[in-house]
Amino acid sequence: MIRILAVTLMTALLGFVLWLPASYPAQAFYQTVQLDHMTCRAALGKAYSDRALAFALSSNQSSAARSTSTNTVGMSKPEQRLAAGLEAIGTRLSNGRYSKALNAMMTLAFYRLALLRSLVIGTLILLCPALLDAAVRRTVRTHQFQRHCPERCTFGLAGGLIACAALVAYTVAPLHLHPAFAWSAIATIIYFLCVVLANYHHSAG
């Protein structure tokens, strides 16, 4: 069941990521970045939100430059003509509507990933005691000769996968959401991880 759910979520996410640039123009993604930036300025401060925006723009520009640059040093004339033709084709493709929307979506994804970095310390502060609590509950249950609950473990795995998929979809969706959505998604993932740790049952054979 968990494998089927994981494959289904991965397929759905792949289709979702490929569908978004075809359904939304580049302007929609840039407007979402602008709205997120204004919200994060109020929630996280101007300095951090500006650094996140600079990181998103620089990362996207550097990846675009690497994908379009062609080195013709040492090539013969036929090879240079072929490289020039391929570069012209690549330029026409990159100027298409889908490519522009895809580039804008990557900018949004880089920006939201940069914002998620601000949650690393808070995530560790929440994760360590939560995992310790789950490990203690598992140890106590073992010493009391109580059986672990595989159904709860399966529930935790399924919920964690769905929460992770929601977090990935959040990074690319051109929907203005408060940063609290990412915080709640991470807290939900930690909760399900603790459920799995406290109830994981390894059957011999």
| Residue 65 half-sphere exposure toward CB, CA atoms < 13 A | 6
Distance CA 158, CA 150 (A): 12
Helix and strand counts by DSSP (H, E) for the chain: 8, 0
SS3 category, 111: helix
- Mean pLDDT computed over every residue of the chain: 81
Closest C-alpha among 56, 174, 61, 63 to residue 116 = 56
Least confident of 77-86, 118-127, 189-198: 77-86
pLDDT for the residue 146 = 65
pLDDT digits (tens, 9 = 90+) for 146-191: 666 778 888 999 999 999 999 999 999 998 888 888 888 899 999 9
For the whole prediction, is pTM greater than 0.85?
A: no
Q: How far is CA 68 from the centre of its chain?
A: 25
Among all chains, which residue has been given the structure tokens 């359904």?
Answer: 23
pLDDT digits (tens, 9 = 90+) for 179-200: 888 888 899 999 999 988 888 7
